[in-house]
A and B are shown apart, each in its own frame.
Chain A
Amino acid sequence: MNKPFAAAVLISALTLTSCGTSFPADPDGTLDRVSGGVLRVGASENDDWVTVAASGEPEGSEPALIREFASRLGAEIKWSVGTEHVLAADLKHGELDLVIGGLNDETPWEKEAGLTRPYTESKDSRGKTHKHVMLVAKGENAFLLELDRFLMAKAPK
């Protein structure tokens, strides 16, 4: 009974992937828009992850990763520097594509945003382990998968 159904699901899914349509696709087309366009990144200062230079340009390990990611997509970065609170709200309302700030997978913004896979770990001074993630707009799964793939390839093994 379930075999024909299963086959139908698989075949339709496979057909769609091979048609060149991105699978998974972004409901709001983030990946398409960003590729060769503008990547809007929110950065919140946090330790060595994100620091903001006197010039106003974000520096640190995460901005470095994002610059490389953007150059792969042929995208220009438009930075917004602010507190997590403001950036998460901007992300939720589609005014940003990505938020960084040395966030971990216990981030309270999980309700407002999609999380990448934890791409690295760190230990704080109290010995607690943090699994680091970045935030993307909810449901933009093609963009998220692209970022996940990039971060996984970069992840220190």
Chain B
Amino acid sequence: MKPSAARGAVRFGHTELPEEQRAALRKAVKFEWITLGFLAASTALVYAVLGNSQAMKAAWVEDLLSFLPPLSFLIASRTIRRRPSEEHPYGFHRAVGIAHVVAAVALTVMGAYLIVDSGIGLVTAEHPTIGGFDLFGQTVWLGWVMILAMLLTAGPPVYLGHVKMKLAEKLHDKVLYADADMNKADWMTAVAAAVGVAGIGLGWWWADAVAALVISASILHDGVRNTRAAISGLMDKRARTYDDAEPHPLGSRIDAYLSGLDWADTAKSRIRDEGHVFHVESFVVPQDGKMPSMEQLESARNACIDLDWKVQDMVIVPVAELPAEYLPGGAASGGES
């Protein structure tokens, strides 16, 4: 958790983070550790009262899987600090994408497994057996303890999710986003499991399996959605906002800036999202086919880098006309909104 070498100089590859992002990163690391601590406590608690409820089992597996995104984030946020080297000229930013894929595939596989497992329980009319539990010398129904455990673990992730969501936006971190998104929805899992157990109490043996199916479906849904997002990231899909809601506005800002230069006629960029930072290739058509000077090119590049901390790895290519083969879709540039 200690900041790297010189405090104040936190880097993602060779990108030095601005103060706002540096603070967000520190806070995100702290909150991911808090998340891990909470998960350790909650998995232990739920395991202790697991009993024969399939819904509780599904909720517990989801808790276990919830370890993956924070761990991925913590590992990746260390790895990407390494500077680019001769062997890794683009830096180590892709560590984030790889961590994302690993976590997403685990979610997908477990979600699918639990759907089959719970479905079998429903089809074979498995009646879940929940008996007594010794609570300070009293024998109470274990179901009450299960419901209590689920309701206790329902609240904290919602709070953690809200905090991490804000940080994910600042850091443009999709693993953190996925993690926060799952945390925010976690209370539904807890409530579904509690309802399933309460259903058993009412004598509805099927309620448990149905609740388990609901939980498994939500795990699978998270898994598929995250796998898709992670893979399209690794496939160099055009840069989008942290929540994948829309193309990242930075693209059109860069194009607008470059097109507005007094030596430029028009400009378009293609941008890929390396994890936190962008790789930008901007094609600029100079006015009247006159080559810009070295100073003009340098100052244009520096101005673009100053637009946003995510832009660092950038090349400007003067061209006679915009190359359609690199800029498919004509008007659409790397990140037009």
Could you list which residues of chain A lie within 8 angstroms of chain B, going by C-beta atoms?
Answer: 1-2, 5-6, 9-10, 12-13, 16, 21, 23-27, 113-117, 136-141, 144-145, 147-149, 152-153
Contact of A24 (CB < 8 Å), options: B141, B154, B155, B194: B141
Alpha-carbon distance A3/B68, docked complex (angstroms) = 27
CB distance A9 to B132 under 8 Å? no
Binds A, one of B22-30, B198-206, B216-224, B247-255: B198-206
Number of chain B residues whose Cβ lies closer than 8 Å to a Cβ of chain A: 30
Alpha-carbon distance A114/B151, docked complex (angstroms) = 26
Given contacts A141-B129, A149-B139, contact A6 B191 (CB under 8 A): yes
- Name 4 extra pairs, CB < 8 A, besides A9-B191, A114-B52: A9-B194, A24-B200, A139-B129, A139-B205
CB distance A9 to B131 under 8 Å? no
Residue of A nearest to B208 (CB): A139
User: With a CB–CB cut-off of 8 A, which chain B residues contact A152?
Assistant: 132, 134, 139
Given contacts A1-B187, A9-B198, A26-B203, contact A141 B131 (CB under 8 A): yes
Contact of B154 (CB < 8 Å), options: A6, A113, A115, A145: A6
Q: Is B147 an interface residue (CB 8 A)?
A: yes
CB distance B191 to A25 under 8 Å? no
CB distance B201 to A23 under 8 Å? yes
Given contacts A1-B187, A2-B191, A24-B143, contact A141 B201 (CB under 8 A): yes
Alpha-carbon distance A138/B205, docked complex (angstroms) = 10
What is the distance, in angstroms, from A18's C-beta to the closest C-beta of chain B?
13
Residue of B nearest to A143 (CB): B131
CB distance B129 to A144 under 8 Å? yes
Q: Is B59 an interface residue (CB 8 A)?
A: no
CB distance B131 to A148 under 8 Å? yes
CB distance A2 to B190 under 8 Å? yes
Report, nearest first, the 3 A-B pairs whose CB atoms are least far apart: A139-B127, A148-B132, A114-B129
Q: Is B213 an interface residue (CB 8 A)?
A: no
Residue of B nearest to A23 (CB): B201
User: With a CB–CB cut-off of 8 A, which chain A residues contact B129?
Assistant: 113-115, 136, 138-141, 144
User: With a CB–CB cut-off of 8 A, which chain B residues contact A115?
Assistant: 129, 131
Could you list which residues of chain B lie within 8 angstroms of chain A, going by C-beta atoms?
Answer: 52, 126-134, 139, 141, 143, 147, 151, 154-155, 158, 187, 190-191, 194-195, 198, 200-205
User: With a CB–CB cut-off of 8 A, which chain B residues contact A138?
Assistant: 126-129
What is the distance, in angstroms, from A103's C-beta to the closest C-beta of chain B?
15
User: With a CB–CB cut-off of 8 A, which chain A residues contact B200?
Assistant: 24, 139, 141
Residue of B nearest to A117 (CB): B132
Alpha-carbon distance A148/B133, docked complex (angstroms) = 8
CB distance B131 to A27 under 8 Å? no
Alpha-carbon distance A116/B130, docked complex (angstroms) = 9
CB distance A27 to B203 under 8 Å? yes
CB distance A117 to B131 under 8 Å? yes
What is the distance, in angstroms, from B251's C-beta to the closest C-beta of chain A?
35
What is the distance, in angstroms, from A115's C-beta to the closest C-beta of chain B?
7
User: With a CB–CB cut-off of 8 A, which chain A residues contact B126?
Assistant: 138-139
CB distance B134 to A6 under 8 Å? no
A-B contact pairs, 28 of them (CB 8 A): A1-B158, A2-B190, A5-B187, A6-B154, A9-B194, A9-B198, A10-B151, A13-B147, A13-B201, A16-B201, A24-B141, A25-B201, A27-B127, A27-B204, A114-B129, A115-B131, A117-B131, A117-B132, A117-B133, A117-B134, A117-B139, A138-B126, A138-B128, A139-B126, A140-B129, A141-B200, A145-B141, A147-B131
